[in-house]
Amino acid sequence: MNEALIEVERTGTLLLLLPEAHLDWSPHPDLPTIRTLSWRLVRLVERIGWILELDKLALDLEPALDLEMSAEISEAYAANEESVRRALIGLGPDDMRAPWLLEREGDPVARLPRGDALRTFGLTPLVYYRGQLAELLLALGVGVPDPSPLWPFPGVPVPE
Q: Which domains does the chain have, with CATH numbers?
A: 1-140 (1.20.120.450)
pLDDT tier, 63 (very low <50, low <70, confident <90, very high otherwise): low
User: What per-residue confidence (pLDDT) applies to 57?
Assistant: 86
C-alpha span between 66 and 58 (Å, rounded): 21
Backbone angles phi, psi at 56, to 5 degrees: -150, 155
pLDDT in tens, 122-147: 999 999 999 999 999 999 888 888 76
Average pLDDT, stretch 98-120?
93
C-alpha span between 97 and 100 (Å, rounded): 9
Indicate whether 73 pLDDT > 90: no
Average pLDDT, stretch 63-89?
83
pLDDT tier, 153 (very low <50, low <70, confident <90, very high otherwise): low
User: What per-residue confidence (pLDDT) applies to 90?
Assistant: 85
Give the relative orientation of helices 34-53 and 124-139 as an angle to the nearest 10 degrees.
Answer: 160
Average pLDDT, stretch 39-66?
83
User: What per-residue confidence (pLDDT) applies to 133?
Assistant: 94
Average pLDDT, stretch 36-56?
92
User: What per-residue confidence (pLDDT) applies to 96?
Assistant: 94
Handedness of CA 65, 70, 73, 75 (dihedral sign): negative
Give 66 or 37, the one with higher predicted confidence: 37
CA 111 to the chain's CA centroid: 21
Indicate whether 109 pLDDT > 80: yes
pLDDT tier, 120 (very low <50, low <70, confident <90, very high otherwise): very high
Beta strands 99-104 and 56-58, pairing class: parallel
DSSP code string of 71-133: HHHHHHHHHHHHHHHHHHTT--HHHHHSEEEEEETTEEEEEEEHHHHIIIIIIHHHHHHHHHH
